[in-house]
Amino acid sequence: QEQLADSGRGLVQAGGSLRLSCAPSGRTFNRHAIAWFRQTPGKEREFVAAMSWSGLYTKYADSVKGRFTISGDNAKNTVYLQMDNLKLEDTAVYFCASGPVFDQRTVQSWKIYSYWGQGTQVTVSS
């Protein structure tokens, strides 16, 4: 069974950068869509970015477009979320997830993803 490990937690000042990593434990990614979501207390899990494992397709939430980049490294079997120009409102627990199909119409819904990482805290300070 695929399990995901997400990492890269950190405290960073507004305007700074941080990179998160996600890798399946012990196996290669065997799903076609890998995504990042984030969540703050009392709020629903929010879509951040997604990519097809082939790397051909990506999608971003409007709130992070132009600042965050999702990418994959096949050799390392790892997906990254590069976060630049971080803002206070980016503070959240970030989760990676993998799902069966990359579909532009549904990729933003957490419901399509079968496997999740444990979450990693990102805190942006002023």
State yes or no: pLDDT of 81 exceeds 90.
Answer: yes
Query: 110: which residues sit within 8 A by CB, 6+ positions away?
Result: 37, 45, 47, 97
> Which two three-digit tokens encode residue 123?
């805190």
State yes or no: pLDDT of 13 exceeds 90.
Answer: yes
pLDDT of residue 50: 96
Q: Is the dihedral of CA 10, 40, 124, 76 positive or negative?
A: positive
Give yes or no for a contact between 118 and 22, defined as CB atoms under 8 angstroms apart. no
Nearest CA-CA partner of 112 in 53, 34, 58: 34
pLDDT of residue 69: 97
Categorize the per-residue pLDDT at 25 as very low, low, confident or very high, splitting at 50, 70 and 90.
Answer: confident
As a whole number, mean pLDDT of residues 24-33 equals 68
Q: How many CA atoms lie within 13 A of 80 on its CB side?
A: 14
Q: Tokens 């971003």 — which residue?
A: 60
Q: Tell me the C-alpha distance between 22 and 1, whole Å.
A: 16
pLDDT digits (tens, 9 = 90+) for 46-75: 999 999 988 889 999 999 999 999 999 888
pLDDT digits (tens, 9 = 90+) for 106-124: 999 999 998 899 999 999 9
Annotate 37-104 with DSSP letters as a single string: EEE-TTS--EEEEEEETTSS-EEE-TTTTTTEEEEEETTTTEEEEEE-S--GGG-EEEEEEEES---T
